[in-house]
């Protein structure tokens, strides 16, 4: 038995158009690189909207450290080029919110840092204004579906939360009939467990193992109704990540940020339909708030080995009934 919110988005006889809304350059490839590469390979049109240029990011290569916010503060232009290179490599079209404008929003840095008080900090952007800017890009792209973070911004970064809020508000303001489907990015807890086991079995010298509770985007398996599972897409994802060299180091199917904590490129990404009005999964499906509880069984979609649906399903003709609620 499949809930209506768990159905794929019907796309009538043409390539699908996907719009992924992210906070900083590199987020798109780290969080959704498999989905981007998979849909590009399927002939779909994939757009990535990046809300800030990641000015507050920590810089990994010593020779580029002078670009950082606490030195020359010139990381924006550099990361714009990294993003351009990554998107060209993976085959997606790159949009940056208010690209090239002095009104462009800026990376807010981690919660509580002084950069969050900057007048152009994205986390502090007035919601109406932020949503209107996102809506302009949605109108231009006319996507079948939009993907962004869950209500916790994946791992509670203020810019990621603002990205989720602005995207939801942009869609909520559209007439329902014209509104593309909205998906949040989630990881089933069983996948997160498997990834930690895999990392322990495949250590990279100099990198530490992840530990502690999972981020809030790790939820009960049953919440995650859709998935893109495509191990063949990892090569394209890793190649795109190589462009983000101020932020990411790649070693085979493992990568690390400036903290040198190993993370896996597992070739799979999970999603659930969101209600743009609430930012929560549709049909009252509430993810667990904290991701460190044992997996639940007997949930609303049956056992944890449930079939997950693809994001889109191509239908023969236009005008087939909207079955995804």
Q: Which residues lie near Zn ion (CB under 5 A)?
A: 23-24, 27
Place of tokens 């990361």: 79
CA dihedral sign of residues 166, 170, 172, 173: positive
Please identify, using beta-carbon distances, which residue of 24 and 268 lies nearer to Zn ion: 24
User: Please, what is the minimum distance in Å from the beta carbon of residue 51 to Zn ion?
Assistant: 9
* Structure-token pair, residue 236: 């394209």
Please identify, using beta-carbon distances, which residue of 10 and 154 lies nearer to Zn ion: 154
Please identify, using beta-carbon distances, which residue of 123 and 274 lies nearer to Zn ion: 123
Please identify, using beta-carbon distances, which residue of 27 and 230 lies nearer to Zn ion: 27
User: Please, what is the minimum distance in Å from the beta carbon of residue 153 to Zn ion?
Assistant: 8
User: Please, what is the minimum distance in Å from the beta carbon of residue 23 to Zn ion?
Assistant: 4
Q: Quote the CA–CA distance of 278 and 210 in Å, as a whole number.
A: 32
Please identify, using beta-carbon distances, which residue of 17 and 118 lies nearer to Zn ion: 118
User: Please, what is the minimum distance in Å from the beta carbon of residue 30 to Zn ion?
Assistant: 8
* 103 burial level (CB within 10 Å; 0-12, 13-18, 19+): exposed
Place of tokens 């602005």: 166
CA dihedral sign of residues 216, 221, 226, 231: positive
- Per-position DSSP letters for 129-162, written without gaps between them: HHHHHHHHHHHHH--SEEEEE-TTHHHH-HHHHH
User: Please, what is the minimum distance in Å from the beta carbon of residue 301 to Zn ion?
Assistant: 30
Please identify, using beta-carbon distances, which residue of 27 and 220 lies nearer to Zn ion: 27
Please identify, using beta-carbon distances, which residue of 265 and 282 lies nearer to Zn ion: 265
User: Please, what is the minimum distance in Å from the beta carbon of residue 21 to Zn ion?
Assistant: 12
Q: Which residue is nearest to Zn ion (CB)?
A: 24
User: Please, what is the minimum distance in Å from the beta carbon of residue 99 to Zn ion?
Assistant: 17
SS3 assignment, position 241: helix
User: Please, what is the minimum distance in Å from the beta carbon of residue 298 to Zn ion?
Assistant: 35
Residues sharing a CB contact under 8 Å with residue 222, sequence separation 6 or more, in sequence order: 285, 296, 299, 300, 301, 302, 304, 306
Burial 65-82 (b: 16+ CB within 10 A, else e): eebbbeeeeebbebbbeb
Please identify, using beta-carbon distances, which residue of 168 and 185 lies nearer to Zn ion: 185
Residues sharing a CB contact under 8 Å with residue 253, sequence separation 6 or more, in sequence order: 202, 234, 238, 264, 265, 266
How many other CB atoms are there within 10 angstroms of residue 153's CB atom? 23
């Amino acid at each position: 038995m499949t809930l209506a919110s768990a159905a794929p988005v019907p796309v009538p006889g043409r390539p699908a158009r996907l719009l992924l809304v992210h906070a900083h350059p590199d987020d798109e490839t780290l969080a959704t690189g498999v989905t981007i590469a998979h849909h590009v390979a399927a002939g779909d049109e994939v757009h990535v909207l990046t809300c800030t240029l990641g000015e507050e990011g920590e810089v990994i290569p010593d020779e580029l450290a002078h670009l950082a916010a606490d030195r020359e503060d010139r990381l924006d232009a550099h990361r714009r080029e990294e993003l351009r290179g990554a998107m060209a490599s993976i085959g997606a079209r790159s949009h940056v919110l208010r690209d090239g404008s002095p009104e462009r929003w800026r990376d807010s840095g981690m919660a509580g840092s002084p950069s969050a008080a900057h007048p152009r900090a994205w986390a502090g952007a007035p919601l109406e204004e932020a949503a209107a800017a996102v809506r302009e890009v949605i109108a231009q792209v006319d996507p079948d579906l939009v993907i962004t973070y869950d209500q916790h911004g994946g791992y509670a970064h203020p810019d990621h939360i603002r990205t989720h809020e602005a995207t939801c508000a942009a869609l909520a303001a559209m007439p329902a009939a014209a509104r593309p489907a909205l998906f949040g990015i989630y990881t089933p807890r069983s996948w997160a467990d498997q990834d930690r086991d895999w990392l322990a079995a495949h250590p990279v010298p100099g990198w530490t193992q992840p530990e502690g509770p999972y981020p809030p985007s790790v939820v009960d398996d049953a919440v995650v109704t859709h998935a893109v599972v495509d191990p063949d897409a990892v090569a394209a994802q890793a190649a795109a990540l190589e462009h983000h060299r101020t932020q990411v180091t790649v070693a085979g199917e493992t990568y690390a940020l400036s903290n040198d904590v190993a993370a896996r490129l597992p070739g799979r990404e999970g999603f659930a339909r969101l209600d743009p009005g609430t930012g929560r999964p549709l049909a009252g499906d509430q993810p667990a708030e904290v991701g460190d509880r044992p997996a639940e069984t007997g949930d609303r979609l049956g056992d944890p080995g449930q079939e997950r649906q693809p994001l889109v399903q191509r239908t023969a003709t236009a005008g087939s009934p909207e079955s995804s609620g």
